[in-house]
Structure 1
């Protein structure tokens, strides 16, 4: 089976307060996009990556990836996330017509461990038409009205935090994007088709980097991973590689 990953990276990232698009904000000296694409390829299951970048930065983004030694196509993104994914999907299917599994991965979730990526691919290849990684919700959630008054307290035991990459069999994702609708994620589009969306366990490292605080956490994640790799490399052969694959 051919697995293709799409990375929508055309967002401005205004909440980060950066002078560049969010995907190009650096963590430990490298843009989030580089971390994200490298993670997809390092999982060992992705054949091809297509990045949807801001239209005025397509060439610069392609050069950035090439300079980092990462093989990926770059296309101009659309007006929103859904449009960007649709454009990347059409390009990917033109390049690899026999694509059977499509992953959609946020560049802002740049530190998703390879084990999560593999679990999503495995679930789709096992027969699920749509798969998302999730985490249990730890905080109590309140539903409020237009005036900010609490009207309900949902049972958090049935709630999950959604991460990426989200995985789909190709026909399902193509049908979802044919709806000519928009959603905050591609699983939302698939739900409108009435297709069940399966879940696999996510990981804390797959957090979405949205605010300056998140950047601080991301820096700590990378620094801790780097230290673990160094320390474990002295313990036994192959330990560093295993630590990198498990994101610990």
Structure 2
């Protein structure tokens, strides 16, 4: 590809919704931790100059051991994440600057560097999706988001939502045009200087108060357009037990969807 590529892998999330007391990245997926699959999924991507893995502060040694056992060919580091995803990404970006560029590579905050932000929970993301994002950034797009079309009808509700017992009724709201909506995934890709500037400004001006839904939102606050490339059903986010079951089937059947 020719440009230095860096990646922040956010893996500091809990496994509560999966029904586990350990971090989500440590949950078993087809015989290996979710984190193992996420890190190995980056292997075929050429020009990787460094990967920063954010982890819960009290699990740094465990995450480091998983990365070691994966025998990764690219440079990597494990560092503590923050109290939110946005803060974890910021810590990961700082970690990318710890890599010493070599062989013509440029630092992560250089305008020509490509920085990917990827959720470890999307552990089975196809390499083709990484490549689509990188190619779009390389072509001049400042912020690139992989996305899929919605399957379900989406309803915008008014007031409180119903309770689990169904005792509270929500007034009917509008139904947005599904053809104009997308489900966004990772990795999201950015020109190096832009993603660093977006996170620096967010911290300085308390934008989103550390709770941005994704990094493209922060980049948009600088006035940059977001560009979309096709996502993949294999890049599902493992959040609930049913997601883990589906991901297990996908991991055991890599050539079938």
TM-score by length of 1: 0.88
Q: Which residue of 1 aligns with 2:83?
A: 79
Q: In structure 2, how many angstroms separate the alpha carbons of the residues matched to 1:24 and 1:176?
A: 30
Structure 2 unpaired stretches of 5+: 161-169
Q: Which residue of 2 aligns with 1:215?
A: 244
Q: Which residue of 2 aligns with 1:5?
A: 7
Q: Which residue of 2 aligns with 1:238?
A: none
Give 1:13 deviation, angstroms: 2.5
CA contact (8 A) 1:36 1:110 kept: yes
CA contact (8 A) 2:15 2:27 kept: no
CA contact (8 A) 1:23 1:31 kept: yes
CA contact (8 A) 1:103 1:167 kept: yes
Structure 1 unpaired stretches of 5+: 229-246
Q: Where has structure 1 moved over 4 Å in runs of 4 or more? A: none
Give 1:195 deviation, angstroms: 0.9
Mean CA deviation greater in 43-52 or 198-207: 43-52
Give 1:120 deviation, angstroms: 0.3
Q: Which residue of 2 aligns with 1:153?
A: 175
Root-mean-square deviation (CA, aligned residues, Å) is: 1.4
Higher helix share: 1
Q: In structure 2, how many angstroms separate the alpha carbons of the residues matched to 1:83 and 1:41?
A: 26
Q: Which residue of 2 aligns with 1:104?
A: 117
Three-state SS of the structure 1 residue aligned to 2:176 is coil
CA contact (8 A) 1:24 1:31 kept: yes
CA contact (8 A) 1:43 1:115 kept: no
Q: Which residue of 1 aligns with 2:71?
A: 69
Q: In structure 2, how many angstroms separate the alpha carbons of the residues matched to 1:220 and 1:45?
A: 30
